[in-house]
């Protein structure tokens, strides 16, 4: 127990030194640590949002709505296909994920199925690469045809919607100019957004909460709004609500002429005459051509710019716009114009996102928590250190030395692995201090006992370590089981606590089994004690 | 010479008190469960959904009455406004809103508009929708159960089955009493509380294993001793360690409780309670169970503990 091979001593000392060296940059101010030469350890602890402040949002893709929209598209695809083939049908309806229709003439069945077949072709999804998934199951039963969206296809839809949304969110959030935002998929249909250091989350929420689907519609040419409101809109037209409640609703063509997908740029600005905030935009070639044709053919008519089903502006076309750029004048504030420009540049979300969890901590609270955690840890340490010296004298000093090394190693590991340190994580470190002390108490108590049994000093120390280490191992392993369960199954704060606890248990086992033993052995061999001052 | 806090050789007949401790513990457990079912836990938003907003007033003292009045007008249902830590800090809790996940965000917006951004700084906003809160409760419970099972298995492997039963009984005792503690003082029960319970489980098992380890060792050494005397010996031998460790842990937790800030105060309060309960249960629940489950049959020195 008290003999160490040279290489072992070297390894133990090296491990402790590594811990100290990697933990050391945390003592420096962030700016200085970052400017250290790259061959020196310069990483600092990653602080969780609860300590550094910031926003944490968990978003969920609205699966139901996505499926509903997909089913509607399927209906219109079916309608168009059959119309193009001049096949008569009735009772075209959608129920859940199934579209059904009855052919007027059963003899058309073969022709109808052939025409509809392409709808059931596998969608090429670059994400999966394995040939894609067939989304639609086509079934012919007499003169009835059903097209069902199958679960695999829907699942693939949701996945790709999440993936696309992630990209859109990345582009949008990067526009906010914050540092190191985290945007990652969670589970199948969720996206986690973490933006450190963001104090006011209103803008963030405004920016990520909007689908931002922009379309250009012509005003409906036939039928009046009043009549549409009284009965129902004419075929191919619909009533659109205004974005600004002081405007009235408007009757527009259901078909969008151009959509935001064809935009290449959008910038906030001010109108030169009225000095009102506006958003100017530029179309790509395709969009520019359509826009030019549209404005050329419809001079004198109104068209509506619709954002997420609401009309934001509806100007009258005064002259053809051929350059492919224009401006939107809604009732904007400077901020809402900026936001809209960001949204248009980043593109529309493929699905609606709902915030299902939000945790935002202001930087001042984070700093308070760090300070409080520091004070508590220091005081706790100081009290424990004094207590150990009172209880065990010289051996108490040994224990304190081991404890200091233990803490340094915990921070070293946290820093090297870039584990996020949270407030519960600090609690885990404090618990580690308690357990590290326990390990030493077990050893020293055992040495006391063994020496009371009349053993010589060296024998008592030998036996004390040997016996106590069995207990320490059992105790630490059982605690480790609990800590691992916390880490693996827990989320958020539980996980943060589990992670430091796991690291703490490992370093405690190391210090108890090797470091304390080495320190005591060194003392034994250098001072050759007759009695143990314990 | 170092200070002796505990006399070297104590001979406290712990097992003589065991017949008394059992009913007391049982009563405490029944009381805890009754409290849990009758009063219930003061569930935080993590488990029941809703919104928590911590604001700091720009004035020296927050106008709690004013905040209550302004938010009360919004018709957000059950709203709790209370001081938190310093006099300029206020915690606002709003019950889960109808209207699913989006409804919660509407409430946050309404509160921020009602209080404005000039007089108050928003230090913390937590919104947990109904979907997430259900999941959190589920994962929390699973974590506790898996931990119990893992501990049971490990002890069964390392010791004898009686030890595993004793340890798990002690753990259940600790968990139940901790839940009772949360119920009786209406400490908010949130995700950190689950972490606290699991830490208590960790601490308690640590403590129990130390005692058990000694019992196992003593079993081998004294083949003729009755199990009760043997356990008394083991508990007495580990007593100074038990007390020293509990003291140092309490010191560390005390520092955390008084200086660690309001956010983790309920966590540390539960932990402090857990240290007491965990220490008690090792001696008075885990140890005597070995007697009742006949770890050593009446005829001493038999098969059971011979394993190395």
Residues A292-312: tens digit of each pLDDT: 988 898 888 888 888 888 888
Which residue in chain A is spatially nearest to B262 when comparing CA positions?
A369
Best of B261, B268, B279, B308 to disrupt the A interface by mutation (most A CBs within 10 Å)?
Answer: B261
pLDDT at A16: 94
pLDDT at B298: 53
Average the pLDDT over A64-89 and give the result.
85
**Domain A63-153 CATH assignment equals 3.30.1490:** no
Say which CATH number the domain at B207 has.
Answer: 1.20.1640.10
Where does the pLDDT of residue B299 fall: very low under 50, low under 70, confident under 90, or very high at 90 and above? very low
Average the pLDDT over B70-91 and give the result.
86
Q: What percent of chain A is predicted at pLDDT more than 90? A: 17
Last residue of a domain, one of B77, B98, B128: B128
Which residues of chain A neighbour B110 with C-beta distances below 8 Å?
none
Best of B251, B262, B266, B272 to disrupt the A interface by mutation (most A CBs within 10 Å)?
Answer: B251
What are A152-201's pLDDT values in tens digits? 888 888 888 898 899 889 888 888 777 778 898 988 889 999 988 776 77
Do B76 and B192 lie in one domain? The reply is no
The pLDDT of residue B284 is above 90: yes
Phi, psi torsion values for B163, nearest 5 degrees = -65, -40
Query: Pick the residue with more confidence: B199 or A382?
Result: A382
Measure CA A154 to chain center.
23
pLDDT at B301: 44
Q: Indicate the residue of A200, A368, A379 with minimum beta-carbon distance to B261.
A: A368
Residue B1 within any structural domain of the chain: no
Do B192 and B275 lie in one domain? The reply is yes
Paired strand residues for A353: A61
Do B186 and B286 lie in one domain? The reply is yes
Measure CA A97 to chain center.
30
Query: Pick the residue with more confidence: B141 or A524?
Result: A524
Q: What percent of chain B is predicted at pLDDT more than 90? A: 30
Tokens linked to A187? 């589970």
Residue B8 within any structural domain of the chain: no
Is B203 within 8 Å of A383 when comparing Cβ atoms?
A: no
Average the pLDDT over A515-531 and give the result.
91
Last residue of a domain, one of B98, B128, B158: B128
Residue B5 within any structural domain of the chain: no
pLDDT at A239: 87
Residue B229 within any structural domain of the chain: yes
pLDDT at A132: 61
pLDDT at A258: 87
**B44 to chain A, minimum CA–CA distance in Å?**
14
**Is this structure's pTM higher than 0.90?**
no
Domain that holds residue B30: 14-43+133-306
Average the pLDDT over A408-422 and give the result.
92
Residue B167 within any structural domain of the chain: yes
Where does the pLDDT of residue A412 fall: very low under 50, low under 70, confident under 90, or very high at 90 and above? very high
Do B220 and B259 lie in one domain? The reply is yes
Tokens linked to A360? 């935002």
Name the average pLDDT for chain A: 86
**B127 to chain A, minimum CA–CA distance in Å?**
5
Say which CATH number the domain at B115 has.
Answer: 3.30.70.3400
Average the pLDDT over A14-23 and give the result.
93
Where does the pLDDT of residue A395 fall: very low under 50, low under 70, confident under 90, or very high at 90 and above? very high
Residue B247 within any structural domain of the chain: yes
Angle (CA) A384 A385 A390, round 5°: 95
Average the pLDDT over A104-118 and give the result.
85
pLDDT at B214: 92
pLDDT at A407: 92
Which residue in chain A is spatially nearest to B210 when comparing CA positions?
A471
Residue B9 within any structural domain of the chain: no
Do B123 and B164 lie in one domain? The reply is no
Which residues of chain A neighbour B264 with C-beta distances below 8 Å?
423-424, 426-427
| CATH for the A210-358 domain, from 3.40.190.10, 3.40.50.800, 3.30.1360.200, 3.40.50.300 | 3.30.1360.200
Task: Report the run of H or E that residue A283 belongs to, with start and end.
Answer: strand A277-283
The pLDDT of residue B308 is above 60: no
Where does the pLDDT of residue A124 fall: very low under 50, low under 70, confident under 90, or very high at 90 and above? low
C-alpha A337/C-alpha A343 separation (Å) is: 10
What are A427-477's pLDDT values in tens digits? 788 778 888 888 999 999 999 889 888 889 899 999 999 999 999 998 888
Do B213 and B84 lie in one domain? The reply is no
Number of structural domains (chain B) is 2
Where does the pLDDT of residue A398 fall: very low under 50, low under 70, confident under 90, or very high at 90 and above? very high
Residues 6+ apart with CB under 8 A from B75: none
Residue B6 within any structural domain of the chain: no
The pLDDT of residue B280 is above 90: yes
Q: Terminus-to-terminus CA distance in chain A, angstroms?
A: 18
**Which 3 state secondary structure label does DSSP give B59?**
coil
- Select from A60, A243, A50, A305 the least CA-distant residue to A169: A60
pLDDT at A188: 84
Do B158 and B217 lie in one domain? The reply is yes
The pLDDT of residue A500 is above 70: yes
Residue whose entry in the numeric block shows the structure tokens 């006949």: B294
Last residue of a domain, one of B128, B161, B185: B128
**A236 to chain B, minimum CA–CA distance in Å?**
32
Which DSSP category does A302 fall into?
Answer: B
Q: Output the CA torsion sign for A37, A38, A40, A41.
A: positive
What are B151-161's pLDDT values in tens digits? 889 999 989 89
What are B234-275's pLDDT values in tens digits? 999 999 889 888 888 888 888 888 888 777 788 889 989 999
- 3-state DSSP of A305-368: EEECCEEEECCECCCCCCCCEEEECCCCCHHHHHHHHHHHHHCCCCCCEEEEEEEEECHHHHHH
Paired strand residues for A47: A421
The pLDDT of residue B17 is above 80: yes
Is A376 within 8 Å of B255 when comparing Cβ atoms?
A: yes
Where does the pLDDT of residue A133 fall: very low under 50, low under 70, confident under 90, or very high at 90 and above? low
Do B119 and B166 lie in one domain? The reply is no
Are A362 and A369 in contact by the 8 Å Cβ rule? The answer is no
Are A452 and A532 in contact by the 8 Å Cβ rule? The answer is no
Which residue in chain A is spatially nearest to B201 when comparing CA positions?
A482
pLDDT at A123: 61
Exposure string (b/e) for B55-74, b if CB count within 10 Å is 16 or more? bbbeeeebebeebbebbeee
Do B172 and B267 lie in one domain? The reply is yes
Burial class (CB in 10 A: 0-12, 13-18, 19+), A264: middle
Residues 6+ apart with CB under 8 A from B57: B63, B88, B89, B90, B119, B120, B121
* Strand B42-43 to B188-189 pairing: parallel
β strands within chain B, DSSP E: 42-43, 50-57, 79-84, 86-95, 120-128, 188-189
Average the pLDDT over A54-82 and give the result.
86
Do B106 and B148 lie in one domain? The reply is no
- CB-CB neighbours of A226 under 10 Å: 8
Where does the pLDDT of residue B163 fall: very low under 50, low under 70, confident under 90, or very high at 90 and above? very high
What residue ranges of chain A are covered by domains with CATH 3.30.1360.200?
A: 210-358
C-alpha B84/C-alpha B169 separation (Å) is: 37
Where does the pLDDT of residue B184 fall: very low under 50, low under 70, confident under 90, or very high at 90 and above? very high
Average the pLDDT over A44-68 and give the result.
87
pLDDT at B34: 95
Is A470 within 8 Å of B131 when comparing Cβ atoms?
A: no
| CATH for the A6-52+362-527 domain, from 1.20.120.420, 1.20.1640.10, 1.20.140.10, 3.40.50.300 | 1.20.1640.10
């Amino acid at each position: 127990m008290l003999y160490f091979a040279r290489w072992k001593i070297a390894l133990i000392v090296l491990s402790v030194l590594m811990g100290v060296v990697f933990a050391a940059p945390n003592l420096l101010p962030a700016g200085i640590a970052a400017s250290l030469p790259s061959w020196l350890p310069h990483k600092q602890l990653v602080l969780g949002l609860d300590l550094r402040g910031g926003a944490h949002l968990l978003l969920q893709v609205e699966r139901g709505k996505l499926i509903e929209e997909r089913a509607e598209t399927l209906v219109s695809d079916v309608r168009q296909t059959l119309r193009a083939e001049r096949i008569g049908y009735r009772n075209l309806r959608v129920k859940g994920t199934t579209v059904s229709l009855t052919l007027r003439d059963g003899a058309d069945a073969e022709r109808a199925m052939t025409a509809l077949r392409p709808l059931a072709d596998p969608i090429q999804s670059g994400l999966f690469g394995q040939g894609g998934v067939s989304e639609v199951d086509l079934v012919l039963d007499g003169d009835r045809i059903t097209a069902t969206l199958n679960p695999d296809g829907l699942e693939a839809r949701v996945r790709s919607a999440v993936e696309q949304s992630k990209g859109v969110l990345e582009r949008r959030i990067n526009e906010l100019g914050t540092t190191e935002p985290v945007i990652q998929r969670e589970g199948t249909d969720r996206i986690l957004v973490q933006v450190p250091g963001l104090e006011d989350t209103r803008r963030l929420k405004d920016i990520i909460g909007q689908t931002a689907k922009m379309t250009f519609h012509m005003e409906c040419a036939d039928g009046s709004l009043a009549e549409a409101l009284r009965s129902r809109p004419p075929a191919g037209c619909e009533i659109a609500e205004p974005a600004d409640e002081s405007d009235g609703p408007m009757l527009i063509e259901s078909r969008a002429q151009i959509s935001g997908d064809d935009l290449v740029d959008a910038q906030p600005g001010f109108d030169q005459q009225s000095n009102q905030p506006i958003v100017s935009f530029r179309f790509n070639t395709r969009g520019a051509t359509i826009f030019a044709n549209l404005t050329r053919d419809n001079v004198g008519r109104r068209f509506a710019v619709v954002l997420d089903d609401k009309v934001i502006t509806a100007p009258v076309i005064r002259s053809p716009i051929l350059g492919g750029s224009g401006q939107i004048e809604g009732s904007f504030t400077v901020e809402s114009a900026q936001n809209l420009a960001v949204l248009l540049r980043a593109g529309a979300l493929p699905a609606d996102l709902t915030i299902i969890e939000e945790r935002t901590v202001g930087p001042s609270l984070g700093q308070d928590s760090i300070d409080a955690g520091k004070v508590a840890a220091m005081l706790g340490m100081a009290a424990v250190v004094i207590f150990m010296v009172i209880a065990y004298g010289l051996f108490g000093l040994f224990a304190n030395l081991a404890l200091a090394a233990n803490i340094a190693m915990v921070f070293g590991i946290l820093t090297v692995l870039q584990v996020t340190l949270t407030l519960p994580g600090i609690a885990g470190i404090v618990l580690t201090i308690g357990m590290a002390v326990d390990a030493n108490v077990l050893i020293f108590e055992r040495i006391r006992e063994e020496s009371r049994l009349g053993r010589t000093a060296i024998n008592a120390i030998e036996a004390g370590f040997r016996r106590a280490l069995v207990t320490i191992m059992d105790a630490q392993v059982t605690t480790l089981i609990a800590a691992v369960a916390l880490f693996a199954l827990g989320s958020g704060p539980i996980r943060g606590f589990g992670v430091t606890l796991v690291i703490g248990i490992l370093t405690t086992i190391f210090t108890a089994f090797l470091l304390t033993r080495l320190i005591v052995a060194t003392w034994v061999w250098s001072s050759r004690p007759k009695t143990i001052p314990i | 010479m170092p200070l002796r806090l505990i006399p070297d050789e104590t001979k406290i007949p712990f097992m003589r008190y065991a017949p008394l401790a059992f009913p007391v513990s049982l009563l405490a457990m029944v009381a805890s469960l009754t409290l849990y079912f009758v009063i219930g836990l003061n569930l935080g938003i993590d488990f029941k959904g809703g919104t928590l907003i911590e604001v700091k007033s720009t004035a020296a003292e927050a106008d709690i009455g004013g905040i209550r009045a302004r938010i009360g007008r919004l018709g957000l249902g059950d709203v709790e406004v209370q001081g938190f830590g310093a006099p300029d800090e206020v915690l606002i809790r709003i019950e889960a809103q109808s209207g699913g996940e989006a409804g919660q965000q509407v409430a946050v917006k309404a509160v921020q508009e009602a209080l404005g951004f000039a007089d108050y700084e928003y230090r913390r906003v937590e919104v947990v929708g109904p979907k997430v809160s259900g999941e959190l409760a589920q994962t929390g419970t699973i974590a506790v159960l898996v931990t119990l099972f893992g501990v049971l298995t490990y002890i069964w492997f390392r010791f004898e089955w009686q030890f595993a039963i004793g340890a798990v009984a002690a753990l259940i005792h600790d968990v139940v009493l901790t839940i009772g503690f949360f119920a009786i003082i209406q400490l908010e029960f949130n995700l950190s509380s689950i972490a606290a319970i699991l830490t208590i489980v960790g601490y308690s098992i640590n403590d129990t294993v130390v005692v058990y380890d000694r019992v196992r060792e003593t079993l081998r050494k004294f083949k003729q001793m009755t199990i009760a005397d043997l356990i008394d010996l083991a508990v007495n031998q580990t007593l100074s360690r038990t007390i020293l460790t509990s003291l140092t842990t309490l010191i560390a937790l005390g520092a955390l409780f008084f200086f660690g800030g309001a956010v983790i105060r309920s966590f540390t309060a539960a932990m402090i309670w857990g240290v007491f309960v965990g220490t008690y249960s090792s001696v008075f629940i885990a140890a005597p169970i070995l007697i009742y489950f006949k770890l050593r049959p009446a005829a001493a020195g038999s098969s059971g503990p011979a394993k190395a």
